[in-house]
Chain A
Amino acid sequence: MSKFVIIGNGVAAAGCIEGIRSIDKESEITVISAEKHPVYSRPLISYYLEGKTTLEKMNYRSEDFYEKNKAELVYASAEKIDLKKGEVAFGSKKTKFDKLCIAAGSSPFVPPMDGLDSVKEKFTFMTMDDSLALEKALKKDSRVLIVGAGLIGLKCAEGILERVGSVTVVDLADRVLSSILDNECAAVMQKHLESKGMKFLLSDSVAKLETDKAVMKSGKTVEFDVLVLAVGVRANTQLAKDAGAEVNRGIIIDTKMQTTLENVYAAGDCTEGYDSSIDANRVLAILPNAYMQGFCAGVNMAGGDSSITNAIPMNSIGFFGLHCTSAGSYFAQGEGEVYEEKSCGGIKRLYIKDNKLTGYIIIGDVTGAGIYTRIIREKTDLSGVNIDKLKNNATLAMFLPETRRKMLGGVV
């Protein structure tokens, strides 16, 4: 019998619980959760504001999840990891562990901003409670200013657009979704968002806030009632760092999800794990990664043997019915072939280099996109693939008949 402790209670923690239980049905599991909710689907907080889901449906797992998995859920903030004693301290209490998983996620980064204190209605957008607090402040005629045109800022904008007077999004970058889209694709998405009524101030930033007015670096001013800060997130690494683990932008983990400390694992947004698309460690703050890392950590903590060597960045994000999927890495012009196809309201760009698909972006019809994601993840050598068919459509038609017969005729 071992004693397992998990710090954090997001999707990575849920994966960890399920990973442990796939091997060890009996040992004690304690989950320490700073948020006072059972695990919920974090990405759905914008869908909630849009009326596309309910608080109940946002539960990531069934009501009896903890009971069924014999996991004890404690609502508290873990304050210290004592490696020598094998203990985690929270509040006035302590709990022992044989194996620990840090699944502490990330926190919104709020840059120092001149005059931020003068703003009454200001919010970040990370948690269910953030979403509920923001909802309370929204009125039919609210003018909302969102700082950050990344995934979180734009999802927030989509979620509230129909409920408020106006939404303006400002970003230092020269394009929307700069971490997942190239220039061409970002332009297509921006146009779509503008057609729905969002306003953008790009290549600009807030120089000063004065109660209900933002003065931009460019000299422009924007009046607002509600401010949302979605500049970016930072991995929660402090606990690990204090315990002596190696930490960069995230907690460094190997392909088995172990930190540089014995018996201490980490998973999800708080980590920097192996990204096979760049052959280096990187923070991959996406939900599928959080689940898979959590599960893998759990298996290893319970004495099994699991590793992840093929993680890549990937995203599926839609706005007002226009979908966008992307995966892998892109390269600068001239370093390889970029195949581009434009369709009504959409665009597809495939990045092909050294006989491999390194990355892709599709906006519009994303049918079959997972096949592109697969050949990036598996680093498929394109000599065995029909490149014209690959460019044309994401279907199994691009593979050799023998390969396809295995896919459709075997247990996978």
Chain B
Amino acid sequence: MKRVYVNEKWCLGCHLCEYNCAFANSGMTDMVKALKDKPIYPRVHIEQSDDITYAVSCRHCKDPLCVKSCIAGAISIVDGVVKIDKTKCVGCLTCVLVCPYGAVRPGPTGAAQKCELCLENSCGEPACVKGCPNNAIVYEERQEEK
């Protein structure tokens, strides 16, 4: 299955991925209207360690702790993609408690949200990858490490 991977060497720390993500998931067609002067809730986050920056988003784990731990049964795996049913989520953040990557966070309504690979929003493929100016995030098939 194709997943989002990070090449931290090439990350410029420009945060464009965060904006592209927030826009792709806003359901709006005008980026300025969607994001200007509003708190944004991207599902990918740039972290910094000394002078290195890198993007963190859901790994779509093969054996995901969030799915097993959700107290509402709101997280499931559909064709390898780990998805949150916003309408069932009660915002308890047990998924935040267990995600080993810090990849899930509360969204604007308090319901948990995370990267779902843009498969269902207007973008159709990960917007963070599409918009990254330096190929620091890629969307591809990789083999499991032995």
Residues of chain A at the chain B interface (Cβ within 8 Å): 15, 41, 43-44, 47, 52-53, 57-61, 287-288, 291-292, 295, 314-318, 321, 323, 325, 327, 366-371, 373-374, 386, 389, 394-398, 401, 404-412
Contacts and interface: CB of A to CB of B under 8 A. Distances in A.
B93 A325 contact: yes
Interface stretch (B13-21, B30-38, B66-74, B115-123): B66-74
B93 A396 contact: no
A47 B71 CA distance: 11
A86 B72 CA distance: 34
Contact of B90 (A47, A292, A374, A401): A47
B102 A367 contact: yes
A396 B47 contact: yes
Contacts, number: 134
B71 A44 contact: yes
Interface in B8-58: 8, 47-49, 52, 54-56
A370 B71 contact: no
Contacts of B55: 408
A316 B90 CA distance: 12
B144 A410 contact: yes
B137 to A, nearest CB: 9
B123 to A, nearest CB: 21
Contacts of B71: 41, 43-44, 287
Contacts of B59: 407-408, 412
Given A61-B73, A316-B92, A408-B8, A371 B97 contact: no
B97 A389 contact: no
Given A53-B88, A366-B93, A370-B97, A397 B3 contact: no
Contacts of A315: 97
B96 A370 contact: yes
Contacts of B104: 370
B97 A59 contact: no
Interface string B76-114: 000000000001101111111111111011000010000
Nearest to B145: A410
Top 10 nearest A-B pairs (CB, nearest first) are: A368-B102, A397-B49, A288-B69, A370-B99, A60-B73, A316-B97, A374-B100, A408-B6, A316-B94, A43-B71
A394 B92 contact: no
Contacts of B56: 395-396, 408
B75 to A, nearest CB: 11
A370 B5 CA distance: 20
Contacts of A412: 59, 61-62
B93 A316 contact: yes
A280 B23 CA distance: 49
Nearest to B6: A408
Nearest to B73: A60
A61 B70 CA distance: 12
Most buried by A among B3, B47, B96, B105: B96
Contacts of A398: 49
A394 B45 CA distance: 13
A162 to B, nearest CB: 16
B7 interface: yes
A291 B65 CA distance: 10
A198 B47 CA distance: 39
Most buried by A among B3, B49, B99: B49
A57 B87 contact: yes
10 contacts: A314-B98, A367-B105, A368-B96, A370-B96, A374-B100, A396-B101, A401-B49, A408-B5, A410-B145, A411-B3
